Amino acid sequence: MIVLRDIVKRYTMGEEVVQALAGVDLDIARNEYVALTGPSGSGKSTLMNLLGCLDTPTEGTYTLNGRDVSGMNDTELAQVRNREIGFVFQSFHLLPRMTVLQNVMQPLVYRGMPQDERRARAAEALGKVGLGDRMGHRPNQLSGGQRQRVAIARALVGAPSILLADEPTGNLDTRTSAEIMALFDALHAQGQTVILVTHEPDIAAHCHRVLRVSDGRIVEDRRQVPVRAAS
């Protein structure tokens, strides 16, 4: 599903050039559950931004579901993102003036889908994350764990082929983190491809595959038997 070949990413800031990725080759198949780990500044976010089609590589090719996305312009990338990628962030990024249901309906606006259908799909996604009874609430009326569930519902509503999560439990306490990881585990068990960035071994332990990034390269690619969240 994901094929990266000889990926290099450089950022230019005036005179200075930073090489954030220094030659990455990576294949990720459908329904993998992958943790991306490594020290701060190693290139994890840069790699996630490329995988999520938020940015394109300086060199190399990225083939996503058979299409070369590495040379696409911003409009084309936005279309691929809307269809293929669901994003979850550490800090939720919900719209405070909208209800939970409206937040989750939002990504479908760009699909030109009728309002009734958007509403039905958003309600279904909220049911999937256990928030079917909170649809009329505003984000500030919810706990951190519930907000992250809303963000996960929003990421899932368009049925993306890949769910990308950047430190999804970074703002949550231990118990709530375990609940959110149980949800990712369940989504993976239902067939969802999940890739997450984390620096916490307890979080990476949920995944079937752990990639360690260092100085812009993947220095370790390990398969493991995952642990399951205590329930």
Rule CB under 6 A: say whether 60 interacts with ligand ADP: no
Strand partners, 214: 217
Closest separation between CB of residue 88 and ligand ADP, Å? 8
Quick one: 84 or 166, whose CB is closer to ligand ADP? 166
The residue range among 85-93, 116-124, 133-141, 222-230 that interacts with ligand ADP, by the rule CB under 6 A, is 85-93
**Binder among 166, 188, 192, 211 for ligand ADP (CB under 6 A):** 166
| First and final C-alpha spacing in the chain | 32
| 167 is a contact residue toward ligand ADP (CB under 6 A) | yes
Least distance in Å: CB of 11 to ligand ADP? 3
Classify the C-alpha dihedral 125-126-129-132 as positive or negative: negative
- Minimum Å gap between C-beta 85 and ligand ADP is 10
Q: Which stretch binds ligand ADP (CB under 6 A): 27-35, 89-97, 115-123, 136-144?
A: 89-97
Instruction: Note whether 147 binds ligand ADP by CB under 6 A.
Output: no
Sign of dihedral through CA atoms 81, 98, 109, 154?
Answer: positive
Which range in 13-21, 59-67, 106-114, 185-193 contacts ligand ADP by CB under 6 A?
13-21
Give the DSSP per-residue string, 100-137.
HHHHHHGGGGGGT--HHHHHHHHHHHHHHTT-TT-TTS
Contact between residue 9 and residue 20 where contact means Cβ atoms under 8 Å apart = yes
Output the smallest distance, CB 111 to ligand ADP, in A. Answer: 17
Please tell me whether residue 212 binds ligand ADP under the rule CB under 6 A.
Answer: no
Backbone angles phi, psi at 37, to 5 degrees: -120, 170
Widest CA span in the chain: 54
Q: Which two tokens stand for residue 187?
A: 């989504």
Instruction: Assess 91 for contact with ligand ADP (CB under 6 A).
Output: yes
Q: Give the number of residues written for the chain.
A: 231
| Phi (first) and psi of residue 195, to 5 degrees | -130, 125
Under rule CB under 6 A, residue 96 binds ligand ADP: no
* 18 sits near ligand ADP (criterion: CB under 6 A): yes
Question: What are residue 137's phi and psi, to 5 degrees?
Answer: -75, 160
What x/- string results for residues 33 through 52 when contact with ligand ADP is judged by CB under 6 A? -----x-xxxxxxx------
User: Which residues bind to ligand ADP, rule: CB under 6 A?
Assistant: 11, 13, 18, 20, 38, 40-46, 54, 87, 89-91, 93, 166-167
